[in-house]
Structure 1
Amino acid sequence: MSRGIYIVANDKVMESSIALIASIRLYNCQVPVFLIPFDDNYLQVAAALSSLYGVQLYPNLGFVEQFTREIGQIFDRNFLALPNKMRKLCAWFGPLDEFLYIDTDIIVFEDIAANLNKLSEVDFFCCDYHHLGEKLRNVFSPIVKEKHIFTDSELQDVFNSGFWASRKATISESQMYEVLRECSQHREYFDFTQNVTDQPILNYLILKLIPKRCNLVKASETEPGSWAGSKHFQERDYVLYDKGKRLKYLHWAGIPIKSGSPYWKLWKYYRYLHEKKPNLMQRIFRLIQQ
């Protein structure tokens, strides 16, 4: 059985991709990591991640292109803000039997692949507090609750789409396309007011198709947080703690990663963990090239 991690990236997110993979490799230098290209501009990031950290390219790029065309046929042009974000769903049809999907605006603080052991109990898991902080915001509109599309208990399982895990055989290609077509007929179900794309659709898919699921933060009342907008985390030796408990990961969801951002110095540490920081002239040259 193969286990590993998927990311979606292109050259535009080169810097954050390097920081993420550097943090993963710090705690596990062997776990397979596959890059699903966000678009055709991925050659530089693929080359850098391959040479630095042994990241592999998703082996069936033809399927990724076919899936993208299918998304374009299922959804009206104005339905999804960034249709290529849906490419993360290709994780169910890749080479890994059990997998984590991780957004590139994340760094991890442990052997994150070890969490895949939870898949011996469930078919899907996430690890965030969206259900408490955001509730249905950026996922579903009030109509979903009013029409009883899902039960109140099911709606407690909404999650952020930047960190989650499942296994290859859990959703078939035909099931996925059927539910995506269902989504395309009911735009009123979803909250796209903040220009999210994949998160509402992925939540609908999971609630419809995977009943055996869990959220790791519900294991106890003292599980640590993960959002970079939380200012109370304490740093020790380049690791963050929430009231004494070590974070699994930190996610800059909705927050640009740049000078002045929360935990900026920590992010820079992981970004340059295996590289020298560029001097001023090198930074100017990089900006000119972009």
Structure 2
Amino acid sequence: MARGIYIVANEKVSENAIALLNSIRYYDPDISVYLIPFNDNYQNLAATLNRLHNVQIFPDLDFLNQFTQKIAEIFERDFLALPNKMRKLVAWFGPLDEFLYIDTDIIVFEKIAKILDYLSEYGFICNDYHHAGRGLQDIFSPLVREEKIFTEAQLSDVFNSGFWASKKGTITLERMYELLRECSQHREYFDFSSQVTDQPILNYIVLNSIPKRFNLVKIPGGGPGSWAGSKHFQQKDIVLYDGEKKLQYLHWAGIPMKPGAPYRGLWEYYRYLNEPKPTETSTVEPKKITFWQRIINKTKSLF
């Protein structure tokens, strides 16, 4: 049985992808990792990740392109903010029998693929507090609850789409296209107000087609958080703790990955784990010269 991890990336997120893979390989040098190209601009990143960490390209690029074209046919052009984010859905039809999908704005703090062990009992695994924090925001509109499109039990299982696991064959391609067409016909079901793309659609697909789901934070006593917007995490060595509980991963969902971002120093540690960190250069803007200062300077130049 083939197990492993999928990521979606291109050159634009190269720095994040390298940081993520550095953290994955720090704790697990052997797990298979596949890159699903976000678009055609991925070759340099693919070569780098292959050289550093033996990351393979998703093997059926023809199917990936066919799937992307199908998305374009099913959804109106203004329905999805970034349609290529839907490419992560091909994880159900790739080479891995059991797989973990991870967004590139994440770093991990353990042998993260061990959560695949839960797939012996469940068809879908997630690991976040979206249901308890933002609730249906960035997923479903209030109409879904009002019209009882899903039960309250199902709505308590909504999740962030940046970290999840499932099994090949849990959803057939025919069923996938059927559910995507349903989504395209009911724009009113979804909350796209924050420019999310795949998250509402993925939740609709999973809640409709995989009855045995498990959110790891719902264990007795609760699991640790994972969102970088949480300010209370404490760093010990090169990991973070939520109280006494070690985080499994940290996700900068909705937070720009740039200097000054929360826990930036920890991200930099993993990004430059295998190479020297570049020296930061100070960019000091020149002072603006007023009109009268220009007159004075010109007068001085005459004498």
| Band of TM-score, shorter chain | over 0.9
Partner amino acid for 1:218? K
Instruction: Report the Cα distance in structure 2 between the residues aligned to 1:260 and 1:221, rounded to whole angstroms.
Output: 33
Aligned to 1:48: 48
Q: Counterparts in 2 of 1:1-290, with a 5 A limit?
A: 1-280=1-280
Secondary structure of the residue aligned to 1:259 is coil
Partner amino acid for 2:41? N
Partner amino acid for 1:198? D
- Given the two structures, how large is their TM-score scaled by the length of structure 1? 0.96
Secondary structure of the residue aligned to 1:170 is coil
**Alpha-carbon deviation of 1:220?**
2.2
Secondary structure of the residue aligned to 1:226 is coil
**Alpha-carbon deviation of 1:221?**
2.6
Secondary structure of the residue aligned to 2:132 is helix
Instruction: Report the Cα distance in structure 1 between the residues aligned to 2:175 and 2:219, rounded to whole angstroms.
Output: 30
Instruction: Report the Cα distance in structure 1 between the residues aligned to 2:220 and 2:59, rounded to whole angstroms.
Output: 39
Instruction: Report the Cα distance in structure 2 between the residues aligned to 1:269 and 1:280, rounded to whole angstroms.
Output: 15
RMSD: 1.1
Identity %: 65
Instruction: Report the Cα distance in structure 2 between the residues aligned to 1:270 and 1:71, rounded to whole angstroms.
Output: 35
Greater Cα radius of gyration, structure 1 or 2: 2
Secondary structure of the residue aligned to 2:227 is coil
Secondary structure of the residue aligned to 1:153 is helix
1:27-64 CA distance string (max 9 Å, x none): 10000000000000001110110101110000001111
1:64-103 CA distance string (max 9 Å, x none): 1000000000000000000000000010000000000000
Instruction: Report the Cα distance in structure 1 between the residues aligned to 2:246 and 2:59, rounded to whole angstroms.
Output: 35
**Alpha-carbon deviation of 1:275?**
1.2
- Given the two structures, how large is their TM-score scaled by the length of structure 2? 0.92
Partner amino acid for 2:59? P
Instruction: Report the Cα distance in structure 2 between the residues aligned to 1:222 and 1:274, rounded to whole angstroms.
Output: 34
Instruction: Report the Cα distance in structure 2 between the residues aligned to 1:113 and 1:90, rounded to whole angstroms.
Output: 19
Instruction: Report the Cα distance in structure 2 between the residues aligned to 1:181 and 1:221, rounded to whole angstroms.
Output: 39
Secondary structure of the residue aligned to 1:158 is coil
**Alpha-carbon deviation of 1:17?**
0.2
Secondary structure of the residue aligned to 1:131 is coil
Instruction: Report the Cα distance in structure 2 between the residues aligned to 1:3 and 1:274, rounded to whole angstroms.
Output: 26
Secondary structure of the residue aligned to 1:130 is coil
**Alpha-carbon deviation of 1:280?**
4.5
**Alpha-carbon deviation of 1:223?**
1.2
Instruction: Report the Cα distance in structure 2 between the residues aligned to 1:234 and 1:13, rounded to whole angstroms.
Output: 27
1:110-142 CA distance string (max 9 Å, x none): 000011000001000100000000000000000
Aligned to 2:293: none
Gapped regions of structure 2 (runs ≥ 5):
284-303
Gapped regions of structure 1 (runs ≥ 5):
285-290
